[in-house]
A = this chain, B = another copy of it.
Amino acid sequence: MIKPRTMPGVMELLPRDQIAFQRMLDVIRRNYERFGFLPVETPVMELSDVLLTKTGGETERQVYFVQSTGALEKGGEGLPELAMRFDLTVPLARYVAQYEHELAFPFKRYQMQRVYRGERAQRGRFREFYQCDIDVIGKDTLGLRFDAEIPAVIHAVFSDLDIGPFTIQINNRKLMRGFFEGQGVADGEQQMLVLREVDKLDKRGPEAVFETLTGPDFGLADEVVRAIMDFVAIRSSGLADGLARLDVLGGGSASFEEGVAELREVLSLVQAFGVPDDAVAINLSIARGLDYYTGTVYETTLDEYPQIGSICSGGRYDNLAENYTKSHLPGVGISIGLTRLFWQLREAGIVSTAESTVKALVALMDDARVEDSLALAQQLRAAGINTEVQLEPKKLAKQFQYADRAGIRFVVLSGEDEAARGVVTVKDLRRGEQFEVGRGELGGALKVELEQARVMHVE
C-alpha cells in the first residue's frame, strides 16, 4: 500500500475550491477575449536548447528537465533534451518566431497555462503554477497606444474578479534610467543593483535602504541617495495629479525626457480606454526586478491588502525573440500568477469556497419513481441548468444534507402527491424557502431564479 500524496509545492484543490479557481480563470479569459486577444497554448515541454538560450543564472538552476524511460536508461552526456517551461514568455518568443509568417501583427495573444520552477519548497511558493498572460507583439514597431490599452485590460479583469479595490501603478524604465544617469549612477548594472535595493523599500524600510546605499557596497553620496529616495517616493492620484507630478520633475537626459513623454502619453490615453481616473497611479519606485523591460512598467495592488504585493505585473520590452529570429519584435504584456494569487486571496479570506457548478439535485423519494426523476433532470438540463439526480435510494434527510454540503442550491422533489397534482416541490437551500411549480415550468422557473442571482452578483 502506497501513501497517496502529491509532490511538495503544488496546489491541488477539492472540487468546490477548484470551482472557485475555475471561475477566476474564466473571468480572466473572458476579459482577455473581450479586448481582442487570441488564445495560444504551447506544449509544457520545450527542447532544452530552445528553452535555455541564456545559460547560467538562477532561472536555469530552477529548470525541470524531462527524460523518457528510454533516454534515462541510455544515460548520455550533457543536459537532457527536454525541459519544462518556467514561464510563458520564452514559449511565446519561440512561437512568434516559428509562425512569424502565418501571424498577423500586431499579434495579440493570451495564454493561460501552468509553468514549472524547481523552487525551494516554502509556504506560498509553488513549483507548478498558472500564469495568465497577455502580450501584444509588433513587427518592427509597436505604438504607445498599446501601452495604454494594457491598464484597460487589467481594470476590466480585476473589476470583474470582484476581489476589492485595486490600483494600477505605472512607471517608465527610460525615465528611471535617465534619472539615475542624472544622479551620476550611469552604469546599467549598478542601476539595476540600486533598483534592487530600492525594491526592498517596503520590506526593509527607508533607513535600512539608505544605509546600504551610502555604505561600502554602493558608496553613494548622501544627497544622491536622498534624491533617489525622494524620486521613488513619488506617487500620483488621478490623471491631473499624475501629469502635474511629471511636470515638476523638470528636464534631464534624453532617456529621461523620452520616458517622461511616454508616461505622459500613456496616462493621457488611459481614460479614453475606459479606465476611471483614480484607478491608475504613477509610482516611480516600480522597477520590476527584470532587466527585460525597457519602457512602461506596470504593477497592480489591492488597496486593502498591500501586503499581497503586485497581483499583476508586466511592461514594455524592445525585442521579444532575438534568440530565434532576426526580425525586430517589440512588445508589451502582463502576467497574472493565478495560483499564488488564489492562494493569497484564500489566506486573506477574500475568496471562499464557491457555490457548486451543480445547481439542482433531483431527489429520489421512492426508488420506483427514478424514471420520473430522470425526466425532470432532462427538463432542467435542457433549460441549461446543471443537474444531478439522486440515483440510489437514500433517506431524504441525507439527500438534503448532501445538497447542502455540496453547495447545490435547489433540491427538486416529486413524490406521488406532486405527480398526481402535476407539480413539483422545489427547496431553495440558499433562501431557505420552498415552493411548488407546475411540472412543465420547472426548468424555466429555476432558470429565472439563477439568472436573478447572477445579475445581483450574489453568485
Contact = CB atoms under 8 A, between A and B. Distances in A.
A381 interface: yes
Interface string A83-100: 010000000011101110
The contact size tier of chain A is 35 or more
Nearest to A48: B7
Interface in A30-77: 33-36, 38-47, 49-50, 53, 60-72
Given A36-B358, A38-B356, A357-B33, A7 B43 contact: yes
A98 B35 contact: no
Interface in A3-39: 3-7, 10, 12-16, 18-19, 21-22, 33-36, 38-39
Number of copies: 2
Contacts of A323: 1-2
A146 interface: yes
B7 A272 contact: no
A98 B273 CA distance: 48
Nearest to A38: B15
Interface in A372-389: 374-375, 378, 381, 384-389
Contacts of A1: 323-326
A149 interface: yes
A328 interface: no
A358 B109 CA distance: 12
A47 B45 CA distance: 18
A80 B69 contact: no
Given A4-B321, A39-B18, A62 B72 contact: no
A40 B66 contact: no
A13 B101 CA distance: 14
Interface of A: 1-7, 10, 12-16, 18-19, 21-22, 33-36, 38-47, 49-50, 53, 60-72, 79-82, 84, 93-95, 97-99, 102-104, 106, 108-109, 114, 116, 118, 128, 143, 145-146, 149, 156, 272-274, 321, 323-326, 356-358, 361, 370-371, 374-375, 378, 381, 384-389, 391-392, 402, 405-406
A384 B61 CA distance: 44
Contacts of A386: 33-36
B36 A12 contact: no
Nearest to A53: B2
Most chain B beta-carbon neighbours within 10 Å: one of A64, A66, A402: A66
Contact of A67 (B38, B65, B98, B389): B65
A389 B106 CA distance: 11
A324 B406 CA distance: 25
Contact of A64 (B67, B108, B114): B67
A143 B392 CA distance: 7
B69 A61 contact: yes
A111 to B, nearest CB: 10
14 contacts: A2-B53, A4-B50, A4-B95, A5-B47, A5-B94, A6-B46, A7-B46, A13-B41, A18-B39, A18-B41, A33-B357, A34-B386, A65-B67, A69-B118
A12 B61 contact: no
A248 to B, nearest CB: 27
Contacts of A95: 4, 12
Given A13-B41, A156-B381, 7 more contacts: A7-B43, A19-B39, A34-B384, A63-B69, A65-B68, A106-B392, A149-B389
A406 B402 CA distance: 48
Given A47-B7, A68-B118, A371-B272, A42 B12 contact: yes
B34 A19 contact: no
Given A6-B47, A324-B4, A68 B64 contact: yes
